[in-house]
């Protein structure tokens, strides 16, 4: 059975690679400068510091797609079913507060059962609520982590913590660490991109290189609040000049540069400037094509929920992510977020609104998983789905739920993790992680490990000391490795 799958995957992968080459070749043939194509493209990457680097040990995954569910989706309403919570619905129980003013104090809170019914799916019989009927079809492929816990109580600190391993200090994003550790897999695109990122809750810090060199900065494509149809890399095209004029100008300018380079006799930095223009021009030629979805067939778009009212926007983001990953972008983040003080999944007073967000994301995420799998990409792509924290089993107001950093669920799938597997538990009502606890630092350590990087060795010296993504913490969760 498994043998068959692998065989089929190999076939599919072979096909898609050929198709990809053809697409790329077409993209180039028509537009790019003849001279550019003949140059050693790797040298551009080398000069820019993004040349592929050897990992510390054999990696299980070569690239990451992180699907960020901003605001904190409720685990007790989605993946973490609790019988006791249903049975004790409406009961008032003492809870210890985490927020300022209630910190450490006990107060009576009303338990609120899940608002959605759960069903068992797949061979493992994993329970998933009807919020995510499409993702549920993939439970045999995914590895659920139900004992997650993290730092911070508010969105800002926890979101930063999830991205950078620090709630308040300025630290590089995990995507920057990964590209710093491994370099780029492609020559025509950035190594780390984030699609439709939010400007709030840490904003650009969430994809910032901090003290790492600027080349490891995440490149934003579009922004939260802007339709994914309009999402593009900044300045990727010229709004005023025709391409033919631009090509002529480009050649003229590179001549000026080459004269300088000759005069300066091999100054590396002048050479790097010339190379950076070549890469930029290749990006200008290629990136819009990679982000252009019109070439995808209708069935594929339908699979991602593109064209449907609720899921169109996020479907586009997910499909872009696949195309970027396929084109060799090392770390792709998709953001289901916005710019408001209460991010999308943040239902303090109206849990039923979770349904809107599930409708917007369920089908696109499931479509992405299906697509990655059939193209053979899932084997060496690590997909991470999750929010900055979960929500409380007790009610806030009439039918809301508060933040819960003490216990929540995320899932991983693809490169190197067990499939159809569930790891970790929260307590009987879904409040605290108690078994198989995985702290956000541990998740970071594990993701780096799957990429072939030792989180204790991936360091960068700044201000006189060596920094790591996991600070002085982090344990690799070996239990979930395939």
| Binding flag, residue 231, other proteins (CB under 8 A) | no
**Looking only at residues 345 through 404 of this chain, which bind other proteins when binding is defined by CB under 8 A?**
none
31, 133, 475, 481: which one binds other proteins (CB under 8 A): 475
Judged by CB, which is closer to other proteins: 305, or 390?
Answer: 390
3-state secondary structure of 339: coil
Minimum distance of other proteins from residue 260's CB (angstroms): 5
Minimum distance of other proteins from residue 66's CB (angstroms): 20
Judged by CB, which is closer to other proteins: 51, or 199?
Answer: 199
What is the rounded radius of gyration, in angstroms, for the C-alpha atoms of the chain?
A: 23
Give the angle subtended at the CA of 403 by the CAs of 134 and 385, to the nearest 5°: 30
Window 129-168: contact mask with other proteins (x via CB under 8 A): ------------------x------xxxx-xx------xx
Closest by alpha carbon to 131, among 82, 95, 81, 84?
81
β-bridge pairing 408-414 and 381-386: antiparallel
Tokens describing residue 111: 């338990």
**Looking only at residues 208 through 227 of this chain, which bind other proteins when binding is defined by CB under 8 A?**
210-211, 213-215, 219, 223
Minimum distance of other proteins from residue 94's CB (angstroms): 15
Query: Judged by CB under 8 A, which stretch of 68-76, 124-132, 195-203, 361-369 contacts other proteins?
Result: 195-203
What is the Cα–Cα distance from 148 to 425, expressed in whole angstroms? 9
Minimum distance of other proteins from residue 233's CB (angstroms): 8
Minimum distance of other proteins from residue 368's CB (angstroms): 27
| Binding flag, residue 123, other proteins (CB under 8 A) | no
71, 72, 73, 202: which one binds other proteins (CB under 8 A): 202
**Looking only at residues 406 through 435 of this chain, which bind other proteins when binding is defined by CB under 8 A?**
434-435
Give the angle subtended at the CA of 388 by the CAs of 386 and 391, to the nearest 5°: 90
Q: How far apart are the first and last CA of the chain?
A: 17
Q: What's the per-residue H, E or C state across 45-66?
A: HHHCCCCCCCCCCCCCCCEEEE
**Looking only at residues 245 through 274 of this chain, which bind other proteins when binding is defined by CB under 8 A?**
245-246, 248-250, 252-253, 255-257, 259-261, 264-267, 269-270, 272-274
H helix and E strand count, the chain:
13, 19
> 145: burial class by Cβ within 10 Å (0-12, 13-18, 19+)?
buried
Minimum distance of other proteins from residue 74's CB (angstroms): 22
| Binding flag, residue 70, other proteins (CB under 8 A) | no
**Looking only at residues 290 through 319 of this chain, which bind other proteins when binding is defined by CB under 8 A?**
none
| Binding flag, residue 207, other proteins (CB under 8 A) | no
| Binding flag, residue 277, other proteins (CB under 8 A) | yes
- Which residues, 6+ apart, have CB-to-CB distance to 262 below 8 Å? none
34, 58, 299, 463: which one binds other proteins (CB under 8 A): 463
Judged by CB, which is closer to other proteins: 249, or 356?
Answer: 249
Minimum distance of other proteins from residue 112's CB (angstroms): 24
| Rama region for 284: left / alpha / beta (φ>0; ψ in -120 to 50; rest) | alpha
Minimum distance of other proteins from residue 142's CB (angstroms): 21
2, 100, 230, 309: which one binds other proteins (CB under 8 A): 100
Q: What's the per-residue H, E or C state across 63-108?
A: EEEEEEECCCCCCCCCCCCCHHHHHCCCCEEEEEECCCCCECCEEE
Closest by alpha carbon to 407, among 66, 70, 67, 80?
80
| Binding flag, residue 284, other proteins (CB under 8 A) | yes
84, 308, 428, 456: which one binds other proteins (CB under 8 A): 456
| Residues 161, 473 contacting (CB under 8 angstroms) | no
Query: Judged by CB under 8 A, which stretch of 310-318, 320-328, 353-361, 455-463 contacts other proteins?
Result: 455-463
| Binding flag, residue 288, other proteins (CB under 8 A) | no
Give the angle subtended at the CA of 162 by the CAs of 157 and 163, to the nearest 5°: 100
227, 237, 350, 356: which one binds other proteins (CB under 8 A): 237
**Looking only at residues 28 through 67 of this chain, which bind other proteins when binding is defined by CB under 8 A?**
47-49
What is the Cα–Cα distance from 406 to 153, expressed in whole angstroms? 9
As a dihedral over the C-alpha atoms of residue 235, residue 306, residue 356, residue 128, rounded to 10 degrees, the angle is -120
| Binding flag, residue 437, other proteins (CB under 8 A) | yes
Tokens describing residue 52: 């592929």
Q: Give the count of residues interacting with other proteins (CB under 8 A).
A: 87
| Binding flag, residue 170, other proteins (CB under 8 A) | yes
Side-chain-facing half-sphere of 226: CA atoms under 13 Å = 14
What is the Cα–Cα distance from 35 to 342, expressed in whole angstroms? 51
Minimum distance of other proteins from residue 62's CB (angstroms): 22
| Binding flag, residue 238, other proteins (CB under 8 A) | yes
| Binding flag, residue 99, other proteins (CB under 8 A) | yes
Minimum distance of other proteins from residue 89's CB (angstroms): 26
């Amino acid at each position: 059975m498994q043998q068959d799958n692998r065989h089929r995957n190999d076939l599919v992968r072979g096909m898609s690679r050929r198709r990809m080459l053809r697409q790329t070749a077409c993209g180039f043939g028509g537009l790019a400068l003849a001279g550019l194509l003949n140059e050693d493209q790797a040298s551009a990457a080398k000069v820019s510091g993004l040349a592929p680097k050897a990992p510390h040990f054999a990696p299980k995954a070569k690239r990451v797609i992180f699907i960020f569910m901003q605001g904190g989706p409720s685990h007790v309403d989605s993946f973490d079913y609790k019988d006791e919570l249903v049975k004790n619905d409406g009961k008032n129980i003492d809870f210890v507060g985490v927020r300022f003013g209630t910190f450490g104090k006990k107060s009576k809170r009303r338990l609120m059962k899940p608002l959605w019914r759960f069903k068992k799916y797949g061979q493992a019989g994993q329970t998933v609520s009807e919020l995510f009927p499409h993702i549920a079809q993939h439970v045999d492929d995914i590895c659920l982590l139900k004992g997650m816990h993290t730092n911070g109580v508010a969105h800002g600190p926890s979101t930063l913590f999830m991205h950078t391993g620090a709630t308040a200090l300025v630290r590089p994003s995990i995507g920057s660490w990964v590209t710093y550790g491994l370099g780029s897999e492609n020559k025509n695109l950035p190594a780390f991109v984030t699609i439709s990122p939010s400007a709030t809750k840490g904003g650009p810090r969430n994809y910032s290189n901090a003290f790492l060199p600027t080349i490891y900065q995440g490149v934003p494509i579009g922004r939260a609040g802007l339709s994914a149809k309009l999402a593009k890399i900044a300045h990727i095209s010229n709004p005023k000049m025709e391409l033919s004029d631009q090509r002529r100008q480009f050649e003229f300018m590179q001549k000026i540069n080459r004269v300088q380079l000759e005069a300066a006799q091999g100054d590396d930095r002048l050479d790097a400037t010339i190379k950076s223009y070549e890469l930029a021009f290749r990006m200008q030629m290629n990136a819009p094509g990679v982000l252009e979805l019109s070439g995808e067939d209708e069935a594929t778009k339908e699979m991602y929920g593109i064209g449907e009212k609720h899921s169109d926007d996020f479907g586009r983001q997910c499909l872009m992510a696949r195309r970027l990953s396929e084109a060799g972008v090392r770390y792709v983040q998709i953001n289901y977020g916005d710019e408001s003080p209460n991010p999308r999944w943040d239902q303090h007073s109206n849990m039923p609104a979770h349904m809107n967000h599930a409708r917007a994301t369920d089908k696109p995420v499931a479509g992405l998983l299906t697509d990655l799998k059939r193209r053979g990409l899932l084997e060496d792509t690590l997909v991470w789905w999750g929010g900055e924290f979960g929500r409380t089993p007790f009610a806030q107001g009439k039918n809301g739920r508060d933040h819960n950093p003490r216990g929540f669920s995320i899932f991983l799938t693809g490169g190197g993790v067990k499939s159809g597997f569930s790891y970790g538990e929260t307590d009987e009502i879904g409040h605290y992680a108690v078994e198989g606890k995985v702290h956000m630092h541990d998740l970071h350590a594990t993701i780096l490990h799957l990429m072939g990087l030792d989180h204790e060795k991936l360091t960068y010296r700044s201000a006189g000391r060596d920094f790591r993504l996991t600070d002085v913490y982090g344990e690799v969760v070996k239990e979930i490795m395939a």
